[in-house]
Structure 1
């Protein structure tokens, strides 16, 4: 088992920077496979397009404040690591989003929980026998509404056992 922290640096919908931070845990099942989970706080910048009352296309930016809990299958090898799975996003500021929703978007359009599919590739660098730093390239997409992003993340973990 490994426990540590993770810094998230996401490019959401290919245009907006979304930072995050959190705690990460890895449970080893076999020598090369295991489960990865965590608890992350992220800012997801969202851009909503809509048609106003005059029929003119317009848009509005809104930063979603999100708590994310991923559950990923993890395959470890010396050259490279892979993960794949799902994450649950819980939107903390949903009520504020609903109150300031763009014209033409019903408050029912917004959902408190979102399901996110995610895959990643990473490389583990051992600083000593129990401390590992791991840069990661991750891609994700919201299910079923689409959209998503790519991220360059870095984790620092300590091997517990």
Structure 2
């Protein structure tokens, strides 16, 4: 057996032993009693508000909103938990010319929301998956009127992955889809990413 062949065989054997050791360690951890975990996170959440009924939003391209928020999770079993949080959403509606009357222009405007999700979350070593409802409370708009603020609710589905930084501290990148009811119709949605810096107690 040549030197190169022996080196390849040795590397393969070492890889198999390492994988076997990791697998055995994971199996041992699965057998240990699970203790309830509480997870607190600070999150940056860039999102786009898009139409989902095939129609473009009047006079606008998808609205980009660089949002932030806090999240809280209670991991009750090894694979199941509940997630909620409190997020700030700020949406800009671009100004332009009215489609009905080309002589009429309208100014850019803003809507500001507090967003509260309540989700069931499934945890695994590969991916975490969450699903539930989300409530958006609009607390202000650019002309400072709040009496006619339109609140809205929707569904939320998310997929994420834990990346361990140190004991208890980890990053969790996420992709989510949040269709919501606006003016009585399911015709718009939030589509976004999130990066959370989280600590597991």
TM-score range, shorter chain: 0.7 to 0.9
Asked whether 1:84 is paired with 2:131, we answer yes
* Aligned partner of 2:175 among 137, 143, 147: 137
* Number of corresponding residues: 150
Whose Rg is larger? 2
2:153 aligned partner: 115
2:120 aligned partner: 73
TM-score by length of 1: 0.79
CA contact (8 A) 2:117 2:134 kept: yes
Shift of 1:60: 6.4
Asked whether 1:5 is paired with 2:51, we answer no
Note the 1:8-157 alignment, pairs <5 A: 8-13=45-50, 15-46=62-93, 52=100, 54=101, 61-94=108-141, 96=143, 111=150, 113-143=151-181, 144-145=184-185, 146-157=187-198
Bigger share in strand: 1
**Higher relative contact order at CA 8 Å, sep ≥6: structure 1 or structure 2?**
1
How big is the alpha-carbon RMSD for the aligned residues of Structure 1 and Structure 2?
2.8
TM-score by length of 2: 0.65
Bigger share in helix: 2
- Structure 2: any 5+ residue segments left out of the alignment? 1-37, 52-61
SS in 1 for 2:143: helix
Alpha-carbon separation, structure 1, partners of 2:142 and 2:76: 40
